[in-house]
Structure 1
Amino acid sequence: MFSMHFALMTIANVIGSLLGGVIADVLQVVFVMPAEVAIRWSLLTGAVVFTIGLLPLFKLRTTVPQIEPNHRESYKPSSDSPNDNLKRNLILIFHFSFASLLIGFGSGLVIPYLNLYFANRFDSSNAFIGLILSLGSAMTAVAMLIGPLLVKRIGKVRALIVFQFLSIPFLMLTAYTTSLTLASIGFLIRQALMNAGNPIQSAVAMEVVADKYKGLANSVNQTVFQLGWATMGPVAAGLVMTFGSYWGYAYTFSITACLYVCSSTYYYFVFGKRKLAEE
């Protein structure tokens, strides 16, 4: 379920990104609109589509399983269900959040500046950069759909670790290559492998955390990831400005690789021994 959700969201992002540019160009050329007006109408179109997407959410309802009166006394929660002890769940949330924080730090060093990386190191055109970023999202969607197949073979935690560790050589290839072709290949494969683990991590979190704390777990996890992302921008910019477009990006990508290794290793030692559903 999580893999399908993330894949559909990624595909929708690809389509939306491409349509946003197409709508703006069509309005500018066909209707002879100024560039800023065409972009404004493109953004308004996206806002309308976003609003329409909210409507099905109002149909969602929380349902509680009904227990027949004659079975209430004999009913017992499954022994596999997560313990709802507050301390236990807060500890689990901390472990998930710390791993996400490390990933957020690493991503914040690299992801926001990928367009500048291709532009500064290879003098790539805007059209090529837009194409390569869209292809990266498309490959991510495919990898997310493949993820469940790997989960069935080796389990959730191991599948997540495999995806993350396999992405690191391609991250290092992107960091040190001077070939646009190799950089593009490295970026695409790293993007797909690293992001393929996101729905698996969400599934693990929702499985081991008790129902009453799942909202808190998701909120904290997202918050610390965004915190890591937000705080590393000045660091990445400083490295590139100090060491230039080659070594500056090489250092930022290398630091990101180290953070990914630390996060994956920590995650494995904390959750690798747990027995999860369907494993």
Structure 2
Amino acid sequence: MFVLFHNYYTRLIRFSKNVKLYLLALTLNSIGTGMFLVLYNLYLKELQYNEAFVGRTVSLKALAAVLILLPAGVFSDRLGRRKAMITGAVFSGISFAILSLLEDANIILIFIFCNGVFNSFFMVAQAPFIMENTTPKERIHLFSINSALMVGAWMLGNIIGGWIPDILTYWFTTLVAMKITLMISALIIFLGAVPLIKIREIQTHQQRNFDEIIKMLRDKKELLTLGKFILPSALVGFGAGLFVPYTNLYLANQYGMTTSLIGIVMALSQIMTAFATLFAPVLVKQVGRVKGIFIFQMSSIPFLFIMATTSNVFLAMVAVLLRTALMNAANPITSNLMMEEVGDKVKGIANSLSQMAFQLGWVVMGPISGMIIAEYGYSYVFFLAMFFYLGSALCYFIFFRHLDEEKVQSAIY
């Protein structure tokens, strides 16, 4: 364990100034996002909105991402990763601040959509930025650090977002306490733009116009490769869209947990995800990238079954923790695999399309899941998600197992 962390620390201090500034911005953005997301559904519940309305907000935000991710990828490729991430951080913070103040359903939906648009600019630039600011030997480790730091910061945000309202209720109503906490989260996200301003943009051949990108996408071989990544990403999105947005409501409604306890559970899930993510390169070195993805995704499925069937609060908490950690631990491997396998000219677009496919699942399943939960409870959505996750794991194994056989991963280490 000590050797593992020492290895990561050594690599971290050797990263470029650009990478360190990016990681600081990511930390602030993730803390603010973790605070906001652990609380916002509970805030809507406090406003007397039901699960069906929560499903509409989830679907609308995901729809915004689906519509804007490709243009955001073009923006990122043409004008640079720095400008894309600054745009995302600044306007995401502003939209979160507005959402923390408003209570009217229609206005909430409008700014949820706006937040989905602006957040996409930050998301879509991350993987290409990492590729442009690292050497091949650094990448899998930076992708892992990126994921671990993001979930670790989310963990801190979950704790803060869960505890601040409970503390503030000594002086304010629950609703006002939640509003104050949500405003603080928006400010932290906004401050995440400050380190990004200091990043020096790296000019690459990837910054090109829209017509050139269309020509690239006419390459059948390139399209086939993109499709092999897009399909499993969509399947994960359909599975996650069924239950992830409702996890805090699941814990509150099914087991009567308080906001502070929910914050702790969500934070612990991020801690476990961070540790699992840091072990991802070790697993990749032992079994290969594709088998690593397959193992992580498949091992998360039994815990969905437990979440669907248990009435024991302790088992439910353990299942939430392990499911989150194991499924998310595959993310840096899938990102690295995609960035290595697609052509240099379409990395930004590839990342956009993959994110679009994932968000499409949330668009479709968000409102459907809300209706299923309102009518039948939570069990059915977990059972359905199991099949989507199984499909994703099998897709990666079938499409890319030859890469492990060719020992492509040895080039990374």
Interval containing the TM-score (normalised by the shorter chain): 0.7 to 0.9
Alpha-carbon contact 1:109-1:233 (below 8 Å) kept: yes
* Distance change in 2, residues 1:64/1:122 (3 Å): closer
Identify the structure with the greater helix proportion.
2
Look up the match of 1:169.
Answer: 302
Look up the match of 1:55.
Answer: 194
Report deviation, 1:142: 1.2
Give the distance between the partners of 2:248 and 2:181, measured in 1 at CA: 21
- Aligned mate of 1:86, from 219, 224, 232: 219
Structure 2 runs not aligned, ≥5 long: 1-141, 206-215
- Aligned mate of 2:254, from 105, 121, 140: 121
Alpha-carbon contact 2:232-2:396 (below 8 Å) kept: yes
Look up the match of 1:270.
Answer: 399
Report deviation, 1:15: 1.3
Give the distance between the partners of 2:250 and 2:172, measured in 1 at CA: 32
Look up the match of 2:208.
Answer: none
Q: Does 1:144 align with 2:277?
A: yes
* Distance change in 2, residues 1:43/1:129 (3 Å): closer
Report deviation, 1:112: 1.2
Report deviation, 1:24: 4.8
* Distance change in 2, residues 1:181/1:28 (3 Å): closer
Amino acid of the structure 2 residue aligned with 1:4 = I
Give the distance between the partners of 1:104 and 1:170, measured in 2 at CA: 18
Give the distance between the partners of 2:289 and 2:271, measured in 1 at CA: 23
The alignment's C-alpha RMSD in Å is 2.4
- Aligned mate of 1:159, from 292, 298, 323: 292
After superposition, where does 1:115-264 map in structure 2 within 5 Å? 115-242=248-375, 244-245=376-377, 249-264=378-393
Give the distance between the partners of 1:41 and 1:127, measured in 2 at CA: 15
Structure 1 counterpart SS, 2:402 = coil
Q: What are the Cα deviations for residues 188-217 of structure 1, in whole angstroms up to 9, with x where unaligned?
A: 111100000011100000000111100001
Report deviation, 1:16: 2.1
Look up the match of 2:242.
Answer: 109
Amino acid of the structure 2 residue aligned with 1:188 = L
Alpha-carbon contact 2:284-2:409 (below 8 Å) kept: no
Q: Does 1:43 align with 2:175?
A: no
* Distance change in 2, residues 1:22/1:184 (3 Å): closer
Q: Does 1:9 align with 2:157?
A: no
Residue range with higher mean Cα deviation, 35-44 or 49-58: 35-44
Give the distance between the partners of 2:329 and 2:204, measured in 1 at CA: 32
Amino acid of the structure 2 residue aligned with 1:265 = L
Q: TM-score, normalised by structure 1?
A: 0.82
% identical aligned pairs: 38
Amino acid of the structure 1 residue aligned with 2:239 = G
Alpha-carbon contact 2:166-2:259 (below 8 Å) kept: no
Alpha-carbon contact 2:155-2:269 (below 8 Å) kept: no
Q: What are the Cα deviations for residues 197-256 of structure 1, in whole angstroms up to 9, with x where unaligned?
A: 0111000000001111000011111111111012112222332333x33xxx22211111
Give the distance between the partners of 2:181 and 2:258, measured in 1 at CA: 22
Report deviation, 1:36: 5.0
Q: What are the Cα deviations for residues 47-98 of structure 1, in whole angstroms up to 9, with x where unaligned?
A: 3332332233231321569xxxxxxxxxxxxxxxxx9983322221121111
Amino acid of the structure 1 residue aligned with 2:255 = F
* Distance change in 2, residues 1:239/1:39 (3 Å): closer
Give the distance between the partners of 2:360 and 2:147, measured in 1 at CA: 21
- State the aligned residue count: 256
Give the distance between the partners of 1:27 and 1:183, measured in 2 at CA: 28
Amino acid of the structure 2 residue aligned with 1:241 = A
Alpha-carbon contact 2:162-2:262 (below 8 Å) kept: no
Q: TM-score, normalised by structure 2?
A: 0.57
Residue range with higher mean Cα deviation, 48-57 or 3-12: 48-57
Report deviation, 1:27: 5.5
Give the distance between the partners of 1:3 and 1:177, measured in 2 at CA: 32
